[in-house]
Structure 1
Amino acid sequence: MLELKHQALVEEAQRRGHATVAQLRLCFQLLALSSAIDRDCASRLAPHGLSEGRFIVLFLLHGAGGTLPPHELAERAGVTRATISGLLDGLQRDGLLQRRNDAEDGRRLQIVLTARGKRLAGDLFDQHTQWIGGLFNGLDSREQVQLSLLLEKVWRHTDAGQEAGT
């Protein structure tokens, strides 16, 4: 399950007699799983001409009733305004959304899903969430809760987890 680069690091840690070999292996297993999920996600979205970022914009717009201003989309997606602009350009070229002036304030811009964008966002969101849920079908509900608690416990030892806890 480990990527070759991580397997090499584990083997080197074993050769050097490090006491943390088991923890290294766990970390690298988690990274390998995350990478596999990312690759699978990309391969599922690619036939629709979508990246993960473009998919996120679609489902955020869909969830907001089809309309949001660009700055709010950027904030909700956790990306910069420059990044959201590039994502919007591509989605607009593909006919999935339109940029419109705000009805109340013509200086403000609203991003609006087209009918095609709404259909795609709705269909893909359902497909995507079912696929993600299916990743955990091998775990019963007790194991899922336990995994969640364990992942949260490990997360608290990351820099981000420690910053969030303060």
Structure 2
Amino acid sequence: MLEAKHSALIEEAARRGHANLAQLRLCFQVLSLSSAIDRDCATRLAPHGLSEGRFIVLFLLHGAGGTLSPHELAERAGVTRATISGLLDGLQHESLLQRKHDAEDGRRLQIVLTARGRRLAEDLFNQHTQWIGGLFNGLDTTEQAQLAQLLMKVWQHTDRGREATP
């Protein structure tokens, strides 16, 4: 299940007599799984002309009732304003959303899903969540809970996890 680059790194670590080969293998298994999921996601979204970023914008707008400001979208998506502008340009070009001036403050923009954007967001959200749920069909509920707990333990040893832990 390892990607070639990860196998090469493990082989080099073994050649050098690295003591933590088992931990390296586990990390690379997680990274390889993540990459496989990302590629599958891209493959599923591509026929709709969407990247994961564009899908997330549609999903966020749909979940907010179809309207958010660019600032709110960037914040909720965890991206910069420049990135959100590029995503919005592409989605507007595909007639999936519109930029409208705020009724109360004409200087502010609101991003609004079009009817086509709402339908696509709803259809893809349902398909996407079913696909993601299916990734874990081989695990019973106890195993899923164990996996979640184990991943949290590993996350706590990342820089970000240490920053988030009081």
TM-score range (shorter-chain normalised) is over 0.9
Q: Which residue of 1 aligns with 2:138?
A: 138
Unpaired runs of 5+ residues, structure 1, are: none
Instruction: Please report how far the alpha carbon of residue 36 of structure 1 lies from its aligned counterpart in structure 2 after TM superposition.
Output: 0.2
Q: 2: CA distance between counterparts of 1:109 and 1:89?
A: 13
Instruction: Please report how far the alpha carbon of residue 15 of structure 1 lies from its aligned counterpart in structure 2 after TM superposition.
Output: 2.1
Q: Which residue of 1 aligns with 2:40?
A: 40
The 5 A counterparts of 1:110-125 are 110-125=110-125
Instruction: Please report how far the alpha carbon of residue 3 of structure 1 lies from its aligned counterpart in structure 2 after TM superposition.
Output: 1.1
Instruction: Please report how far the alpha carbon of residue 16 of structure 1 lies from its aligned counterpart in structure 2 after TM superposition.
Output: 2.2
- Deviating above 4 A after TM superposition, structure 1's stretches of 4 or more consecutive aligned residues are none
Q: Which residue of 2 aligns with 1:29?
A: 29
Q: 2: CA distance between counterparts of 1:150 and 1:82?
A: 36
Q: Which residue of 2 aligns with 1:63?
A: 63
Q: Which residue of 2 aligns with 1:84?
A: 84
Q: 2: CA distance between counterparts of 1:49 and 1:29?
A: 30
Q: 1: CA distance between counterparts of 2:32 and 2:143?
A: 20
Q: 2: CA distance between counterparts of 1:53 and 1:115?
A: 20
Q: TM-score, normalised by structure 1?
A: 0.98
Please state whether the residue corresponding to 1:106 is helix, strand or coil: coil
Give me the CA root mean square deviation. Answer: 0.7
**1:44-71 deviations in Å (ceiling 9; x for gaps):** 0000000000000000000000000110
Q: TM-score, normalised by structure 2?
A: 0.98
Q: 1: CA distance between counterparts of 2:68 and 2:128?
A: 22
Please state whether the residue corresponding to 1:98 is helix, strand or coil: strand
Q: Which residue of 2 aligns with 1:54?
A: 54
The 5 A counterparts of 1:87-106 are 87-106=87-106
State, as a whole percentage, how many aligned pairs show the same letter. 83
Moved more, 139-148 or 10-19: 10-19
1:109 aligns with 2:119: no
Unpaired runs of 5+ residues, structure 2, are: none
Instruction: Please report how far the alpha carbon of residue 9 of structure 1 lies from its aligned counterpart in structure 2 after TM superposition.
Output: 1.3
